[in-house]
């Protein structure tokens, strides 16, 4: 996927994830979107608390992933992992946490009153849907799918995100 030359590779990586970490980006994005959707009504007038809940949820799930993968790899190797191996797992799974950066930045714009809180919330969810669409496109390119297969793959990913947005709309209205 080509992005404008004015957008740095680091920014693209934060907003849309990296090609080699699709699973963590998709998982992290879904977790972030679901947490925002679930907390939107409860924290309607407390944007900073919603930001804290979303960030804490993503970090806890990242730690759980690192721990679970560490246990699994320890069992596979028949020994305890050393610190370097555990840090490699943590780095490999970091895309879960990175997926939260753009939506949290959007929520922060609402908390700082740069945007209305409701607009910031919808922007955060929109960024999540866009990230899922990009991951679908990456997968389709990897698999060298034709136009139809690409449309289905991107569509399924986007529908995942839109389902979460729909749940948010049902819960808060």
Q: Domain ranges for the chain, please list them.
A: 18-172
- Residues listed for the chain: 173
Task: Write down the pLDDT at residue 36.
Answer: 93
Distance CA 151, CA 140 (A): 9
pLDDT tens digit string along 94-119? 999 999 999 999 999 999 999 999 99
pLDDT at 15: 54
Helix 22-39 / helix 117-142 crossing angle, nearest 10 deg: 160
- Pairwise pLDDT comparison (121 vs 18), residue with the higher score: 121
Q: From the CB of residue 106, how many other CB atoms can be counted at a distance below 10 Å?
A: 22
- Banded pLDDT at 170 (limits 50, 70, 90): confident
pLDDT band at 41 (very low <50, low <70, confident <90, very high): confident
Task: State residue 1's pLDDT score.
Answer: 45
DSSP state at residue 115:
S
> Of residues 13 and 71, which shows the higher confidence score?
71
Yes or no: say if 99 and 61 are a contact pair by the CB < 8 Å rule. Answer: no
pTM: 0.82
Q: What is the mean pLDDT of residues 5-34?
A: 73
Cα 145 to chain centroid, rounded: 24
pLDDT at 33: 92
pLDDT at 172 over 80: no
């Amino acid at each position: 996927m080509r992005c404008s030359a004015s957008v740095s590779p680091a920014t693209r990586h934060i907003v849309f994830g990296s090609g080699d970490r699709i699973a963590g980006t998709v998982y992290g994005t879904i977790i972030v979107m679901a947490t925002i959707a679930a907390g939107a009504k409860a924290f309607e007038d407390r944007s900073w608390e919603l930001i804290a809940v979303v960030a804490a949820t993503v970090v806890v799930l990242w730690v759980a992933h690192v721990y679970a993968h560490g246990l699994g790899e320890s069992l596979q190797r028949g020994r305890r992992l050393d610190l370097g191996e555990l840090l490699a797992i943590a780095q490999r799974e970091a895309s879960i946490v990175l997926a939260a950066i753009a939506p949290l930045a959007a929520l922060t714009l609402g908390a700082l009153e740069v945007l209305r809180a409701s607009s910031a919330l919808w922007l955060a969810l929109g960024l999540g849907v866009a990230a899922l669409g990009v991951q679908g496109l990456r997968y389709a390119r990897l698999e060298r799918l034709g136009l139809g297969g690409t449309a289905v793959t991107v569509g399924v990913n986007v529908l995942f995100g839109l389902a979460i947005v729909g749940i948010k709309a049902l819960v808060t209205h």
